[in-house]
Structure 1
Amino acid sequence: MLSIGEFSKICKVSTKTLRYYDEIGLITPDEINTENGYRYYSIRQLKKMLIINRLKSYHFSLEEIKAVLDLEEDQSEEGLYSALIRKKKEIQERLNAFEYTLNQISNDIVNVKNGIPIMAHLDHLEVQLVETQPLNLLYIRQMMSIDDYAAGYGKYFNRLYEKIASEKLTLLGTPMTIYHSQEYNPAGNDTEFAIPIAECIKGTRDLPGCLCAKSVLKGPYTELTSVYAKLREWAENEGYQLVKSPYEVYVTDPYQAMVSEDHITEVYFPVKKQQA
C-alpha cells in the first residue's frame, strides 16, 4: 500500500487534488485508517491515476473522465475508444479555429501596416432587400447557453432530420436558426432550430413571408457578427427597422464543406420602412 504522500509523489498529483478526486468519486483510496484518517492507495490504483492524468492531458473534463471510468468493464474499451475519437475531433476543430485566427491576424497585420482599416471587409458585404416566401417549419425551440451552441446545432438538427427520415417527410429547404431573444445573454438565448418541409404535422409551424434585408456570408461562422453589424448599419442608413426575429439559413452543410471558408450562410433581417 502507498500513503497518500507516496501516491502523490509518484503520480505528480497534489494531495489536495487527490482528496478532491475522492470527494467527487473519481478515484477513492483503497483504505482509510479509521483512527487517524490516513489514506492509502494500492499499487493497482497507480494505473488508474495514470489514465486520469493521460485523459486530463487530452483536455477531458473531470466529468468526462469519470463517465469513461464508470463504464462497465466489458464496455470500458469501447467507451474509451469512442470518447477518444470525440475528443480528437474537438481538438482538431479547435486547431482549425486557431489556424483561421492566425491567418486572420496575419491579414490584419498586413492591412493595418498598409493603412487599411481592420474592419474594411464590412464595406464588401452586400445587402439586398427581398420578399421571402412563407415556409412550413419543422422546429425545435430551446434556451441555449454559449457553451451549448457548438454541440447543440448538430444535436437538434440531427433530431429534426431523423424525424424527417422516419416519417418520410418532404424536405423543402436547408436548415435554419431563428434567434428570438431581444438581447444576447451568455447564460441562455431563445433559439429555434428549423427545417422547411411540405407536410403540416405536429411539431411544425408557419413562418410568414415578409420583407427582409438579406446578406450572404461565405466563410466561417465566426464572421457572422460582421454580417449582423452590416445589416443593422444598412437598416439604419436606409430608414428600416427590425420587426421580427433575425434568422440564418445554412446553404452549405458544415459537414460537407471541406474548410470553413467554404461555408455559405444567408442572414435575414425582417424589416419595415420607418414612418417619416
Structure 2
Amino acid sequence: MLSIGEFSKICEVSTKTLRYYDEIGLITPDEINPENGYRYYSIGQLKKMLLINRLKSYHFSLEEIKAVMEMEEDQAEEKLCSALNRKKRDIQDKLLALEHTLKQMSSDILNLEKGIPIMSYIDKIEVQLVETRPLNILYVRQMMNSGGYIAGYGKYFNDIYGKIATEKLTMLGTPMTIYHSPEFNPAGNDTEFAIPVEESVKGTRDFPGGLCAMSVLKGPYSELTSVYAKLREWVENESYELVRSPYEVYITDPNQCAVQEEIVTEVYFPVKKK
C-alpha cells in the first residue's frame, strides 16, 4: 500500500486534488485508517491515476473522465476509442484555428511595420446589391447558445440531409442559416438551419426573395463578424435599412476544404431604401 503522500508524488498529483477526486468518486483510497484518517492507495491504482492524468492532458473534463472510468468492461475499449477520436477532432479544429490566428498575427505585424492600420482589411471587403429569388426551404429552427453552434451545424444539417434522402427530395441549393434574434445572447439565439428544396412537404416553408446587401467571405467562419460589421456599415452609409433577418449561405462544405482559406460563405442582409 502507498500513503497518500507517496501516491501523490509518484503520480504528480497534489494530495488536495486526490482528496477532491475522492469526493467526486473519481478515484478513492483503497483503505482509510479509522483511527487517524490516513489514506492509502494500492499499487494497482497507479495505472488508474495515470490514465486519469493522460485523459486530462487530452482535455477531457473530470465528468468525461468519470464516465470513462464507469464504462462496462466489455465496452470500455470501444467507447474509449470513440471518445478519443472525438477529442482528437476537437484538438485538430483548435490547431487549425490557432494556425489561422498565427497567420493573421503575422499579417497584422507586417502591415503595422509598413504603416498600414491593423483594421484596414475591413475597407477591402466588397459589398454588392443583389436581387435574390424566393425559395422553398426545408428547415429546423432552434434556440442555440454561443457554445453550441459547431455541434448544432452538424446535427441539424445532418437531420435535414437525412430527411431529404428519406423523402427523396430535390435540393435546389446549399445549406443556409438564418439568424432571427434581434441581439446576441450567449444563453440562446433563435437560429434556423435550412436547405432549399423543390418539393413542398411537412417541414418546408416559403423564404422570400428580394433586395439584399451581400458580401462573400473566403476564409474561416471566425472572420464572419468582420463581414457583418462591413455590411452593417454599408447599409447605414448607403441609406438602406434592414427589413428581415440576415442569413448565411454555405457555398462550400468545410469538411471538403483542405485549408480554411478555401471555405466560401455568402452573407445576405435583406434591405430596402430608406
Distance 1:31 1:201, change over 3 A: farther
Structure 2 residue aligned with 1:79: 79
The total of aligned residue pairs comes to 274
Q: Distance in 1 between matches of 2:101 and 2:212?
A: 31
Question: For residues 178 and 54 of structure 1, do their structure 2 counterparts lie closer, same or farther at Cα, with a shift above 3 Å needed?
Answer: same
Residue 108 of structure 1 is matched in structure 2 by: 108
Residue deviations 1:45-104, cap 9 Å, x none? Answer: 111110010111111111222222222111111112122222122111111111111111
Indicate the SS of the match to 1:192. Answer: strand
Q: CA 1:165–1:32 in 2, change beyond 3 Å: closer, same or farther?
A: farther
* TM-score between the two structures when normalised by the length of structure 2: 0.94
Q: Once the 2 structures are TM-superposed, how far is the Cα of residue 114 of structure 1 from its aligned partner?
A: 1.0
DSSP-derived class of the 2:143 partner: strand
Secondary structure class of the residue paired with 1:151: helix
1:267 is matched with 267
Structure 1: which 5+ runs fail to align? none
Q: How far has the Cα of 1:261 moved from its partner? A: 0.1
The aligned residue for residue 157 of structure 2 is 157
Q: Tell me if 1:118 matches 2:118.
A: yes
Is the partner of 1:255 in helix, strand or coil? helix
Match of 1:222 in 2: 222
Displacement of 1:31 in angstroms is 3.2
Amino acid at match of 1:130: V
Structure 1 residues 202, 22: CA separation in 2 closer, same or farther (over 3 Å shift)? farther
Q: In percent, how many aligned pairs have the same letter?
A: 76
Letter in 1 for 2:253: D
> In the TM superposition, what whole-angstrom CA distance separates every residue of 1:219-243 from its partner, at most 9, and x where no partner exists?
1111111110111111011111112
Structure-2 residue corresponding to 1:245: 245
Secondary structure class of the residue paired with 2:256: coil
Which stretch of the first structure deviates more once superposed, 175-184 or 19-28?
19-28
1:36: Cα distance to partner? 4.6
Distance 1:200 1:40 in 2: 68
Whole-Å separation in 2 of the counterparts to 1:142 and 1:28: 41
Q: How big is the shift at 1:262?
A: 0.4
SS at match of 1:195: strand
Aligned equivalents of 1:36 and 1:273: distance in 2?
Answer: 80
1:30-109 equivalences under 5 Å are: 30-34=30-34, 36-109=36-109
Partner of 1:172: 172
Q: Deviations over 1:140-184 (max 9, x none)?
A: 222222221222211221122122222222211111111111111
Q: Using the TM superposition, give the Cα deviation of residue 132 of structure 1 relative to its aligned residue in structure 2, in angstroms.
A: 1.4
In the alignment, structure 2 segments of 5+ residues that lack a partner are none
Judge which range, 262-271 or 91-100, deviates more.
Answer: 91-100
CA RMSD of aligned residues (A): 1.6
Mapped partners of 1:153, 1:70: distance in 2:
30
* Corresponding residue number in structure 1 for 2:18: 18
What displacement does 1:257 show? Answer: 0.9
C-alpha distance in 2 between matches for 1:61 and 1:86? 13
SS in structure 2 at match of 1:228: helix
- Choose 210-219 or 3-12, whichever is displaced more: 3-12
